[in-house]
Amino acid sequence: EYGYSLGDPNMLIIWEAQFGDFANAGQVYFDQFIASAQKKWGRSSGLVCLLPHGYEGMGPEHSSARIERFLQLCADENMEIVNPTTPAQMFHLLRRQMLRSFRKPLIVFTPKSLLRHPMATSSVADLVDRGFQRIIDEQELDGVSPAQADSVLLCSGKIYYDLIKHREESEKNGCPVVRIEQLYPFPEPEVRALLERYPNAEFSWVQEEPQNNGAWWFVSDW
């Protein structure tokens, strides 16, 4: 698939691992070619890698596609790391990949539980009127203005739906939950805008992975 993406850059080439950790066997290709070929040889690839990721009770080989490992390979905008949470986001992500005038490898973390999650849906307007959103902020909170919010949760991926469910059960509707859909290149302008939107809030990062896994060490630097 990597060679095919070089030979026909106008074709959408997708490699999907049945389990996230199946990428382990191809780690040398990620290191030596996918993450570094543009810098070393000036060869650009638009290869898309779909890696199942999510602590969903399917066992260790299914649970982790090693977000932290791929983020460690990122530098000089050599590839993109995304963790989309809606069908519209996935649609616009793949569409954006082909409409661009350049090619970058795209690593997509795809929790399988979102294929059947009742909240992971998109409207026609989401598909037609919008593009890919690097972060998704909450536009409305029950009776609470952004200036009144004292706590904001940042997360990435399917844990967003777990947080929303817990918020509904605990009736703490004044705590916004913001999704970081694109981890690299990090959406710094959008995150800085969040700080201005919620001037009195304390920001916290939430993830389902252990602290030394996932995106925490990467996000904390920002």
What strands, in cross-sheet order, belong to the sheet with 202-205?
135-136, 177-180, 151-155, 202-205
Torsion of CA 19, 25, 30, 34, to 10 degrees: -80
Q: What is the pLDDT of residues 63-116, one digit of tens each?
A: 889 999 999 999 999 999 999 999 999 999 999 999 999 999 999 998 888 888
Tokens of 154: 């940042």
Q: What is the pLDDT of residues 146-199, one digit of tens each?
A: 988 899 999 999 999 999 999 888 877 778 999 999 999 999 999 999 999 999
Specify the pTM.
0.94
CA distance 50 to 33: 17
Q: CB of 114 within 8 A of CB of 159?
A: no
Q: CB of 94 within 8 A of CB of 141?
A: no
pLDDT band at 61 (very low <50, low <70, confident <90, very high): confident
